[in-house]
């Protein structure tokens, strides 16, 4: 089960690949909607007060950052490097752009700068997390390949070949050890010392 959840997506069937990517994009969008308010405009602290405050909380920003980093690391581990940017960074930035456009503020000239800063910061953090996870993927993938796991098809073939291995053509099972198992002195002296000392079966 762990191999299926962490193996590269290119080894999985295409419906599973695209469903996993759509689920990742949906999770990134849901994390943004849950952690940040839809209306990002500043508002008075109390009724009739001239002091404005932001509706964005530090806890919401931290939780959103952690959620996006986890998603970026997951898709960086399983997919190509461009996919985390499309699946993790694009949905939150698109939602923020729609929020700024839907709620114009008095200082409307400042929201493009805030949106551009959020876009660049999100993209850079997602790219770094995906790159780090991709480096660990290479080690894990090589370990799986050394252990005999080569994907959903290759693992079954490797298991069948290991269990049902046949004897070499022209030799009956139990007819003696293979050439690779014979000692070196036998291979040098067998030609001059007469018949083989190994049992030949039959």
Considering only 28-37, 68-77, 156-165, which range has the smallest mean pLDDT?
156-165
Hey, what are 40's tokens?
């990002």
User: Given this model, what pLDDT does residue 61 score?
Assistant: 95
User: Given this model, what pLDDT does residue 32 score?
Assistant: 96
User: Given this model, what pLDDT does residue 155 score?
Assistant: 43
| Residue listed under structure tokens 């590269």 | 8
User: Given this model, what pLDDT does residue 90 score?
Assistant: 96
Read off the pLDDT band of 174 (50, 70, 90): very low
Question: Residue 172 above 50 pLDDT?
Answer: no
- Say if CB 8 and CB 141 are below 8 A apart: yes
Give mean pLDDT, residues 45-53.
Answer: 73
Distance of CA 86 to the CA centre of its chain: 14
Distance of CA 170 to the CA centre of its chain: 47
User: Given this model, what pLDDT does residue 154 score?
Assistant: 45
Considering only 40-49, 64-73, 107-116, 162-171, which range has the smallest mean pLDDT?
162-171
Question: pLDDT tens-digit profile of 179-201?
Answer: 544 555 444 554 555 555 555 55
Question: Residue 75 above 80 pLDDT?
Answer: yes
Hey, what are 113's tokens?
């700068």
User: Given this model, what pLDDT does residue 39 score?
Assistant: 86
Give the whole-angstrom CA distance, residue 185 versus residue 10. 49
């Amino acid at each position: 089960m762990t191999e299926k959840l962490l193996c590269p997506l290119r080894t999985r069937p295409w419906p599973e690949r695209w469903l996993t990517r759509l689920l990742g994009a949906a999770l990134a969008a849901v994390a943004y909607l849950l952690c940040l308010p839809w209306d990002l405009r500043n508002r008075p602290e109390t009724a009739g007060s001239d002091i404005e405050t932001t509706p964005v909380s530090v806890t919401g920003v931290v939780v959103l950052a952690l959620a996006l980093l986890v998603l970026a690391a997951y898709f960086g581990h399983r997919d190509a490097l461009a996919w985390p940017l499309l699946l993790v960074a694009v949905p939150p930035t698109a939602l923020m752009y729609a929020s700024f456009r839907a709620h114009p503020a008095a200082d409307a000239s400042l929201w493009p700068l805030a949106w551009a800063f959020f876009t660049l910061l999100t993209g850079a953090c997602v790219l770094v997390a995906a790159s780090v996870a991709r480096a660990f993927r290479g080690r894990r993938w090589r370990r799986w390949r050394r252990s005999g796991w080569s994907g959903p098809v290759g693992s079954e073939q490797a298991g069948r070949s290991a269990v049902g291995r046949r004897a070499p053509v022209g030799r009956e099972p139990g007819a003696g050890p293979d050439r690779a198992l014979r000692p070196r002195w036998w291979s040098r002296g067998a030609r001059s010392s007469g018949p083989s000392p190994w049992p030949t079966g039959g």
